[in-house]
Amino acid sequence: MLELLANSQKNFIHFLRISIFIVMAWIGGLKAFQYEAEGIIPFVANSPFISFFLQKNVSDTDNYKLHKNKEGEVVPENIQWHKANGTYIFSYALGSVICIIGILVLLGIFYPKVGVLSGILTAGMSVITLSFLITTPETWVPDLGGNQHGFPYLSGAGRLVIKDIIMLGAGFVIASDSAKSILKKG
């Protein structure tokens, strides 16, 4: 069993690439839908790395809280605010970038140089996502009178974000594996 596992490492790394592609294609593709675009606004609005993509003349850091729709909810006034804020355009662009990175990760199976790049991009994207734990108040359980709030109590949004530490590690693994392939050929 140990020998089989040890000899299958390359296949498992390819499976890791396919897994990353599936996650990125799916999540990136969902960015084209209204509910997903609106759902990322707390992260974007609070991020020093990407908040500049939003329209500051209609948005301040907390204004998005007044225009939140529940997933699947349609409130025309909130939709208009998101249109003016640039929410949907940003989400479409972000989704496209995520899908492109996913495709590059998949191509890394066949092209090691692309594999190095895609691994670094995956890790970099994950660092930005993990920064939301610091910048986005919604990632922690709020103080609503209970004794379990703030750090280390992750909210649903926080639990979603913390999983990106796996993508960070996976990005480094595929970049490392691709670099190893390049060095073997050279």
Instruction: Give the list of residues 6+ apart from residue 174 with CB closer than 8 angstroms, or none.
Output: 13, 16, 17, 20, 105, 108, 115, 118, 119, 122
Query: Residue 184 in 3-state DSSP?
Result: helix
What tens-digit pLDDT sequence spans the chain (186 residues)?
Answer: 999 999 999 999 999 999 999 999 999 999 999 999 999 999 999 999 999 998 866 545 558 888 888 898 999 999 999 999 999 999 999 999 999 999 999 999 999 999 999 999 999 999 999 999 999 999 999 999 999 999 999 999 999 999 999 999 999 999 999 999 999 998
> Any idea which residue has 């909210």 for tokens?
155
Closest CA to 167 of 45, 47, 19: 19
pTM for the full model? 0.92
Any bridge partners for residue 154, and if so which? Answer: 140
Instruction: Give the list of residues 6+ apart from residue 167 with CB closer than 8 angstroms, or none.
Output: 20, 23, 122, 123, 125, 126, 129
Asked whether 105 and 20 are in contact (CB, 8 A), the reply is: yes
Instruction: Give the list of residues 6+ apart from residue 159 with CB closer than 8 angstroms, or none.
Output: none
Q: How far is CA 111 from the centre of its chain?
A: 24
Residue 140 is classified by DSSP as B
